[in-house]
Every structure is written in structure tokens, then in C-alpha cells.
Amino acid sequence: MAGEKIIAVTGATGAQGGGVVRAILADKAGGFKARAITRKPDSDKAKALAAQGVEVVAADIDDEKSLEKAFAGAYGVYAVTNFWEHFSGEKEFVQASNIAQACKAAGAQHVVWSTFEDTRKWVPLSDNRMPTLQGKYKVAHFDAKAEADEVFKKLGVPTTFLLTTFYWENFIYFGMGPKKGPDGKYAMTYPMGSAKLAGIAAEDIGKAAYAIFKKGKDYIGKNVGISGEQLTIDQMAATCAKVFGFPVAYNKVTAAQFRGFGFPGADDIGNMFQIYEEFEKPFAGARSVEATRALVPGLTSFEAWLTANKSRIPLE
């Protein structure tokens, strides 16, 4: 439709950006249309978007000039970086800065930047309760994003800072769901003590972001924290038991034990869980479920998400 505002969506072939694109597609009369940004317009995921009528444009967040071209004429930009592709805070900061610069150059009127708090405001580098990572971070995939907030601000890019949180899709892609132990019993291994984990269905991040674009100017310059439900691991295990139909225990470990699991990123994720546990109040408190529901009326509960996704969760 003529006159629709274009939202250029980075990460459009992924979980967050894909959710933004689907939210736009689902609202035909909303006055917006999505432009999917990808490095690989020939990939199956990009082709699937094109088949739904989405404009697909090639760009790389490592290449600021490619982004400038891809954002040309767009009203808005959904900005997300993928730390887990390279595990480098410095690289993530550069990628986010490239997006910010390109938003500025292209004259974007509203940017929703998917970010996190700087955990060093809670645990300074000198605090040895958790290791310092990559020489300058406590949680690299949080702190680098937070550093990039300042680039969006300094450049005067009209930005909403979307404070996301743990997606339940980690059960599918990051092995965070129930697992069968050597005793044949299922357990969820987390270093969360009795703190509540602020979780969300990844799809609802996209819906929240789209709602923010629709609400527009009032949200510029604001931090918006979102979550779908905040549950202890005991409560999540009980929901898993109900949905899967077998007992699921909480295998409570310490953050140090979790870091010691040694898989790529275990140190960063161990530190992240330690922040979730020790700073539950400010972290979960900044992500009100009620405020999120005001943006996403059909907000997904953990049980509803699990019921819909249980066949996708590897249990072994």
C-alpha cells in the first residue's frame, strides 16, 4: 500500500527480527511494512520472507555503508546484533555502532534497539564475585550492548531502548530445558537459587517492538523492559512436569559450577544468571509483565509457550 512506513528489520531471519516482521505482516491495516535485512537474501529463511511479500535487502552489520543503503527511505529500524555468532563484546559494540551510524545517516525517525543493562553498574570489574571477561566485561553480551546505547544517544538517533530478557526458546536452541540425568530422571540445571527468572516468548519481543513503533514518538529516548512471566526455576520445573507429564526436578547449581561446564559462552551465561539471581529486584523489576501486556495484549505465558513448543524441545 502506498504511504506505508517502512521498518527496516535487522536480524529479520532470526528470532527477534523475525517476530517484528511477522507482527507487521499480521497487521495489514497498520500502516507499516517490513524490509528484511539479511546477509543472505538467497537463504531459505530470506526466500520464505520474500514469498510472503516482504522486501528483502542485503546488508551486513559489519559494513556500515551497506546498512546505510539498506535503511534508505525507512521510517524505522529494528536493531539487533547477534553476540552468539562471534562471542566478542568488542565486535558486538562495533556492529551496534555501525547500525547506529547508518540509522543517523539514513535519517531514521524511530529506532528500536534491542539491548540490556550494563551489569558493571551492579558488579564493578573490581568485584571478584564473578570473573571479568574479555578484559572488561562482567556479562559481555549485556555490557557491550549497553555501551552501544551511548552511541545511539551521542549521535542523536531517535531510539527506544528495548530491554529484552531470557527467551524460553533457549529450551529449544540452548539446551536449557529439562534433561535426563544418569539416574533416568529429568531435571533443569540452573544457577538461579530461588530467584525468579524473567522470561519471554521470543515472538512477543517482536510484537512488543512493533507496538512501540506504532505508539511512536512518546517512546523515543525511553527504556522499555519486557517479560512474559517471571517464575522461579521450581515453578518452571513444575510447569514442565505438568506439560510433559513426568516429574522434573530443579538441579540447583552455583554460578561458579555453571561457568565450569565449559561450553562456549558458559562463563558469560554463568555470570548472566548470577546477575539474574543477585539483582533479581532491579532486573526483573525493570521488566513488568503488566506493562508488557499493555503492549502485547495476548502476551504468552510460560505454560502456553511450553504447550505449543513441547515437541521442539530436545529432552535427552
Ligand X SMILES: NC(=O)c1ccc[n+]([C@@H]2O[C@H](COP(=O)([O-])OP(=O)(O)OC[C@H]3O[C@@H](n4cnc5c(N)ncnc54)[C@H](OP(=O)(O)O)[C@@H]3O)[C@@H](O)[C@H]2O)c1
Binding site for ligand X (CB under 6 A): 10-17, 38-40, 43, 60-62, 80-85, 141, 164-167, 170
Q: Least distance in Å: CB of 245 to ligand X? A: 26
User: Residue 68 in contact with residue 32, Cβ under 8 Å?
Assistant: no
Toward ligand X, which CB reaches closer, 61 or 106? 61
Q: Least distance in Å: CB of 174 to ligand X? A: 6
In 3-state terms, what secondary structure has residue 5? Answer: strand
Kind of pairing between the strands at 159-163 and 196-200: unpaired
Q: Least distance in Å: CB of 196 to ligand X? A: 15
Q: Least distance in Å: CB of 10 to ligand X? A: 6
The DSSP bridge partners found for residue 241 are none
In 3-state terms, what secondary structure has residue 197? Answer: strand
Report the residue number whose CB is nearest to ligand X. 14
Task: In whole angstroms, give the CA distance from residue 76 to residue 95.
Answer: 18
As a residue count, the chain comes to 316
C-alpha cell at 153: 544517544
C-alpha cell at 222: 525511553
Q: At what angle do helices 140-154 and 89-106 cross, to 10 degrees?
A: 30
Task: In whole angstroms, give the CA distance from residue 44 to residue 40.
Answer: 9
Q: Least distance in Å: CB of 45 to ligand X? A: 6
Toward ligand X, which CB reaches closer, 181 or 314? 314
Q: Least distance in Å: CB of 91 to ligand X? A: 9
Toward ligand X, which CB reaches closer, 84 or 244? 84
Toward ligand X, which CB reaches closer, 182 or 302? 302
Toward ligand X, which CB reaches closer, 181 or 223? 223
Toward ligand X, which CB reaches closer, 4 or 62? 62
Task: In whole angstroms, give the CA distance from residue 238 to residue 244.
Answer: 10
